[in-house]
Amino acid sequence: MSGLTGVRSLTTLPVVTLGGDAVAHVKDTVFDASAGRIESFTLTGRTLLSGPLPRILPWPAVHCLGPRAVMVRDMGALCDLQLSAARREAVRGRLLGAQVVTDEGETVGTVLDVLVEVGTSGRLVAFRLAAHRELVHGSRHRRHRVYVPRGEALSVTGRTLVIPAHATTYVSDDLPAFTARVGARHDRGRGAAR
């Protein structure tokens, strides 16, 4: 598994061409929930006081997602879009603040952040939740901020995120421990597929 970054940290990242030109900033990250990856980014202008741009950056046009910038080959990566359509896209693909429920009907918490792989995959890996007390039996933290893997199945209906019940067995309030658990699970899955 490559490095992880939270979607909240992507907001305001510069969009930079391989030639070194800053062409925009990330406003919102839009997800394709069924595919479990970033679909696109809505954009603002190059300065912090600029408003929304009537353009989006589709994920296939991203050269690389890094910790300090979103890299694109050139300005042609940005697609024209009516501003109202860009706003609808952002709302449709928004996961932050969504209520999390398991496929068995248990309410788990609320999404605080979404962790994605940096690099070229844009794969949604996990959610950082404000979790209900029952989910974090041995938690050292009173605030109950935990990480839950995306799991194999994912659906978003309105403002509700549905995760598989078994995904809650990988809950951790420690990011390095969580990453190790999910990495081991991912490696076991690859070994079984061989």
In the chain the domains, ranked by start, together with CATH numbers, are 4-92 (2.30.30.240), 99-193 (2.30.30)
- DSSP per residue over 30-99, as a string? EEETTTTEEEEEEEE-SSTT--EEEEEEEGGGEEEE-SS-EEESSGGGSEE--HHHHHHHHHHT--TT-E
The DSSP letter of residue 123 is: B
How much is the pLDDT for 141?
45
Q: Is the pLDDT at 183 greater than 80, yes or no?
A: no
- pTM assigned to the model: 0.76
CB-based contact 72:16 (threshold 8 Å): yes
**pLDDT at residue 100 above 50?**
yes
Residue 59 has pLDDT above 80, yes or no: yes
